[in-house]
Structure 1
Amino acid sequence: MDYPLLNAFWTMCLIFLWVMWLFLLVRIIGDIFRSQDINNWAKTGWLVLVIVLPFVGVFIYVLARGRGLSEREVALAQRQQRQLREYIRETVKAQGETIRPEDSLAKLVELKDRGDITEEEFQKAKAKVLA
Structure 2
Amino acid sequence: MSFWDVLWFILISYVFIAYLMLLFHIITDIFRDKELSGWGKAGWSIFLVLLPLLASLIYLISRGASMARRQQEWVDRQIAAQDDRIRAVAGTSGGGAASQVAEAKALLDSGAITQAEYETLKQKALA
TM-score when normalising by structure 1: 0.74
Q: Distance in 2 between matches of 1:21 and 1:108?
A: 65
Question: Quick check: 2:26–2:56 contact (8 Å CA) kept in 1?
Answer: yes
Give the unaligned 5+ runs of structure 1.
111-124
Q: Distance in 1 between matches of 2:119 and 2:17?
A: 57
Q: Equivalent residue for 1:24?
A: 22
Task: Percent identity, please.
Answer: 26
Tell me: CA distance 1:108–1:20, structure 2 relative to 1, closer, same or farther (3 Å): farther
The higher relative CO (CA closer than 8 Å, separation ≥ 6) is in 2
Question: Quick check: 2:100–2:125 contact (8 Å CA) kept in 1?
Answer: no
Tell me: CA distance 1:130–1:9, structure 2 relative to 1, closer, same or farther (3 Å): closer
Tell me the number of residue pairs that the alignment of Structure 1 and Structure 2 aligns: 112
- RMSD, aligned α-carbons: 2.6
* One-letter amino acid matched to 1:100: Q
Q: Equivalent residue for 1:12?
A: 10
Please show how residues 44-83 of structure 1 align to structure 2 within 5 Å: 44-83=42-81
Displaced runs of 4 or more, over 6 A: none
Tell me: CA distance 1:64–1:78, structure 2 relative to 1, closer, same or farther (3 Å): same
- SS of residue paired to 2:34: coil
Give the unaligned 5+ runs of structure 2.
108-115
